[in-house]
Amino acid sequence: MYRIVSKKPLNSTVTQMEIEAPLVANKARPGQFIILRVDEDGERIPLTVAGTNKENGTVKIIFQIVGGTTEKLNHKNEGEYLQDFVGPLGVATHTDGIKKVCIVGGGVGCAIAMPVAQEFHALGAEVTSIIGFRNKDIVILEDEFRACSDRLFVMTDDGSYGQHGNVTVPLKEMLEKGETFDQIITIGPLIMMKFVVLAAKPYNIPVTVSMNPIMIDGTGMCGGCRLTLEQDGKRVTKFACVDGPDFNGYEVDFDEAMSRNRMYMDFERHAYEEACNLFKKEVA
């Protein structure tokens, strides 16, 4: 069992927790993730390591309440325990040789992007961050990003905070002005990442995308997290849990990935409603 050491809401649907898991805390690197189960018989869900504290042996997670399991997780409190917590899984984000990086995060993807931005900052790279949200109410981690970025763009879709527009707006502007980066790293909804790749393409800047397919074991055993890359004209199958979650954005078949992520839509809706009923809450 894994103790919840602290819990803090970041906005109405995003929560941050620190979990006691010394072995994971000791090993985790930016870009890696964990898999947890809230309770006995619970579902296994992957969440990114948002930070670690080696002395205390704790791992930070930041999650958005989107369905049954994240809803149940959010009902756990400080001092309570999670059933299972395994990691770190996946390959850490590559940082070698990258001196100037642009990090593009969308929504809760910013939580996944934050430790990557912090790592580059700590390594002395020049960090430009673009973080985007639907509106003012759900802006998260702005201070954290400001602290590790040389330049920060905060975007909202409706213009209620920061600049008006989505994350590709400042990216395109910079690229059009002739700015260049060693690497663009984008984390967020699939559709957003797809557009970031399209925006970068004319300038031939390498883009890393962080894929989040549906996972179970996270060790390469089930094959459920598979996605297709287009490499040298050949279609190649990869498992996001062991080969990723980072991939070359120019190679990923986004349309297929988006379709696969919707496999259990009806089921998830039902499970969410069940969980909400359990806690007597309206489903938005």
Ligand X SMILES: Cc1cc2nc3c(=O)[nH]c(=O)nc-3n(C[C@H](O)[C@H](O)[C@H](O)COP(=O)(O)OP(=O)(O)OC[C@H]3O[C@@H](n4cnc5c(N)ncnc54)[C@H](O)[C@@H]3O)c2cc1C
Catalog residues that contact other proteins under the rule CB under 8 A: 23-24, 27, 37, 41-44, 68-69, 83-89, 216-217, 219-224, 226-228, 237, 242, 253, 256, 259-260, 262-265, 267-268, 271, 274
145 near ligand X, judged by CB under 6 A: no
108 binds, among ligand X, other proteins, ligand FES, none (CB under 5 to 8 A by kind): ligand X
Residue 162's Cβ-count burial label (10 Å; 0-12, 13-18, 19+) is middle
Residue 4's DSSP bridge partners are 19
Among positions 2, 30, 38, 48, the unique one binding ligand X when judged by CB under 6 A = 48
Binding site for ligand FES (CB under 6 A): 215-218, 220-225, 239, 241
User: Which of other proteins, ligand X, ligand FES, none does residue 274 bind to, with CB < 5 to 8 Å depending on kind?
Assistant: other proteins
Contact 196, 190 (CB under 8 A): no
Q: Which does 67 bind (CB under 5 to 8 A by kind): other proteins, ligand FES, ligand X, none?
A: ligand X
Binding mask 109-128 for ligand X (x = CB under 6 A): --xx----------------
Check binding of 93 to ligand X (CB under 6 A). no
In degrees, rounded to 5, the angle at the alpha carbon of residue 47 between the alpha carbons of residues 42 and 52 is: 120
Q: Vertex 203, ends 116 and 255: CA angle to 5°? A: 70
Residue (9 or 223) nearer to ligand FES, CB: 223
Cα 122 from Cα 243, distance rounded (Å): 25
Q: What is the smallest separation between the CB atom of 61 and ligand FES, expressed in angstroms?
A: 18
Determine which helix (DSSP H) or strand (DSSP E) holds 219, and give its type and residue range: none
Binding of ligand X at residue 52 (CB under 6 A)? no
CA distances from 261 to 113, 189, 215, 227 (A): 20, 11, 10, 11
Distance CA(134)–CA(154), nearest Å, equals 11
Residues 57-76, interacting with ligand X (CB under 6 A): 62-64, 66-70
